[in-house]
């Protein structure tokens, strides 16, 4: 409704307050008769006022609800209704509107539990990938009861599962694995103290391992990782892949940053919460003669000796971007390959040399599981030649062979 009232033009000798009185009198008279013959109302209390003709006004009969909005209508009264995601919404919703965008990046999607996470692979990829990393499911050290293995604070470094070695500059950290070859993860645990020193679990590929990887692109490294629960104090987790153009340099040199020509080709931060989640990353290897794959964990300033654990289900290096739910190699095959780097033998030794056939990648370092003195003069990567130094030590001994770089 439009009401136009022309104010009277005052004469020069008319008082100003008389002029204002006449102006507002005419305005109120116009409103009282409906703007020139029209009507006002009826109205609904608290409702929206609208024009219902060219000369009258009324209000919407409905007040709507707290979950509806007013939708326009070019041929009738507007009406209340819910927001339609297909008809009413356009453009991109800012990621900060969902959990404040925490952990959101180009590799994550929004999950139904209210978190941003890297998605797991589609089921069609589960049987099409090839694993290059040995013992990538952290299969058990052997099939007997598993003891915890502390992270070494200096060389020689502890082997935590076959071909995976650990180091931390401070004590108080270990890995734990349960009995049985089908256990689903290895736990990296801060079991005492409050150190926040990086805890490093590493596998080294020598030149022979790395030949299939040189000058390849679009390989994917996949990690399935999580923490024990919401009480676990984890500052950071990094997945690091480093290549080297030098030949067969040692684990010790890698851990002390003494490789001759290293180049990091991946330093990623996998998504870690109280579930085991997948994170996948493309790799472009270029020329490579040696490779290191490392998981580095830093625990938080708060301490919980029971719950400060990171669980790793597997690390795979695959063709494409998918993740196999199970290692594509059987335990028997993986064990044989890993045994070229590490073996545990039960041998009857005497103070005379015996020769035992072995199949190692290189001449192994040898230790016995007790304090007996022994000699291994003449051992090669294919034959263990060994004796104890005293006839008093004749008998069964646990012999460990290790030729990790």
What does the pLDDT read at residue 135? 73
Nearest to 358 by CA among 375, 334, 342: 342
What does the pLDDT read at residue 142? 54
Which residues, including other chains, have CB under 8 Å from residue 9's CB and lie 6 or more apart?
A: none
Q: Which domains does the chain have, with CATH numbers?
A: 16-81 (no CATH), 123-329 (2.60.120.260), 340-402 (no CATH)
Check if the beta carbon of residue 317 is closer than 8 Å to that of residue 358.
Answer: no
Burial 242-263 (b: 16+ CB within 10 A, else e): bbbeeebbebebbbeeebeebe
Check if the beta carbon of residue 277 is closer than 8 Å to that of residue 103.
Answer: no
Using CB atoms within 10 Å of the CB of residue 217, give its burial: 0 to 12 exposed, 13 to 18 middle, 19+ buried: exposed
Task: Give the separation between CA 296 and CA 112, rounded to whole angstroms.
Answer: 29
Nearest to 143 by CA among 96, 177, 194: 177
What does the pLDDT read at residue 127? 39
Nearest to 5 by CA among 27, 25, 22: 27
Q: Any idea of the CA torsion for 323, 329, 332, 336, to the nearest 10 degrees? A: -110
Check if the beta carbon of residue 220 is closer than 8 Å to that of residue 309.
Answer: no
Q: Which helix (H) or strand (E) holds 93?
A: none
Check if the beta carbon of residue 70 is closer than 8 Å to that of residue 48.
Answer: yes
Task: Give the separation between CA 52 and CA 1, rounded to whole angstroms.
Answer: 9
What does the pLDDT read at residue 340? 83
Nearest to 315 by CA among 257, 242, 240: 240
Check if the beta carbon of residue 368 is closer than 8 Å to that of residue 314.
Answer: no
Using CB atoms within 10 Å of the CB of residue 47, give its burial: 0 to 12 exposed, 13 to 18 middle, 19+ buried: middle
Nearest to 223 by CA among 151, 159, 271: 271
Task: Give the separation between CA 336 and CA 359, rounded to whole angstroms.
Answer: 9
pLDDT along the chain (405 residues), means of 10: 53 62 64 54 76 76 82 82 79 81 79 75 45 69 66 90 91 82 80 96 83 72 90 96 89 93 93 87 84 95 96 81 58 73 90 94 90 93 95 94 84
Percent of the chain as helix, strand, coil, to the nearest 5: 15, 35, 55
Using alpha carbons, list the distances in angstroms from residue 382 to 8, 43, 401: 118, 99, 12
What would the two tokens of residue 81 be?
């209704």
Count of residues in the chain: 405
């Amino acid at each position: 409704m439009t009401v136009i009232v022309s104010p009277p033009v005052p004469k020069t000798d008319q008082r100003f307050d008389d002029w204002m009185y006449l102006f507002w009198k005419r305005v109120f008279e116009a409103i009282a008769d409906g703007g020139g013959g029209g009507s006002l109302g009826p109205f609904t209390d608290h409702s929206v006022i609208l024009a219902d003709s060219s000369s009258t006004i009324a209000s919407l009969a409905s007040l709507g609800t707290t979950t509806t909005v007013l939708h326009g209508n070019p041929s009738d009264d507007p009406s209340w209704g819910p927001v339609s995601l297909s008809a009413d919404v356009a453009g991109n919703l800012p990621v900060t509107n969902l959990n404040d965008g925490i952990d959101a990046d180009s590799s994550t999607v929004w999950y139904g539990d209210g978190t941003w996470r890297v998605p797991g692979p589609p089921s069609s990829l589960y049987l099409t990938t090839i694993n290059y990393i040995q013992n990538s499911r952290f299969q058990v050290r052997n099939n007997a009861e598993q003891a915890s293995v502390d992270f070494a604070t200096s060389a020689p470094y502890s082997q935590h599962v076959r071909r995976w070695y650990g180091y931390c500059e401070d004590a108080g950290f270990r890995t734990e694995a349960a009995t049985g070859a089908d256990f689903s993860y290895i736990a990296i645990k801060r079991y005492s103290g409050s150190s926040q020193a990086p805890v490093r679990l590493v596998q080294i590929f020598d030149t022979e391992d790395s030949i299939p990887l040189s000058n390849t692109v679009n390989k994917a490294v996949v990690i399935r990782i999580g923490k024990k629960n919401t009480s676990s104090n984890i500052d950071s987790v990094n997945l690091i892949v480093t290549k080297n153009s030098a030949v067969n340099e040692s684990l010790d040199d890698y851990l002390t940053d003494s490789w001759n020509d290293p180049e990091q080709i991946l330093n990623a931060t996998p998504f870690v919460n109280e579930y085991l989640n997948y994170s996948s990353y493309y790799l472009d290897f270029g020329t490579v003669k040696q490779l290191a794959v490392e998981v580095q964990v830093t625990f938080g300033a708060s301490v919980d000796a029971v719950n400060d654990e990171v669980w790793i289900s597997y690390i795979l290096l695959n063709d494409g971007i998918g993740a196999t739910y199970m290692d594509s190699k059987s335990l028997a095959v993986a064990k044989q390959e890993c045994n070229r780097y590490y073996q545990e033998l039960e041998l009857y030794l005497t103070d005379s040399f015996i020769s035992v056939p072995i199949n190692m990648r290189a001449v192994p370092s040898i230790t016995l599981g007790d304090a007996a003195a022994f000699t291994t003069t003449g051992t090669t990567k294919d034959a263990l030649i060994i004796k104890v130094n005293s006839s008093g030590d004749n008998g069964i001994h646990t012999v460990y062979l290790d030729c990790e770089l």
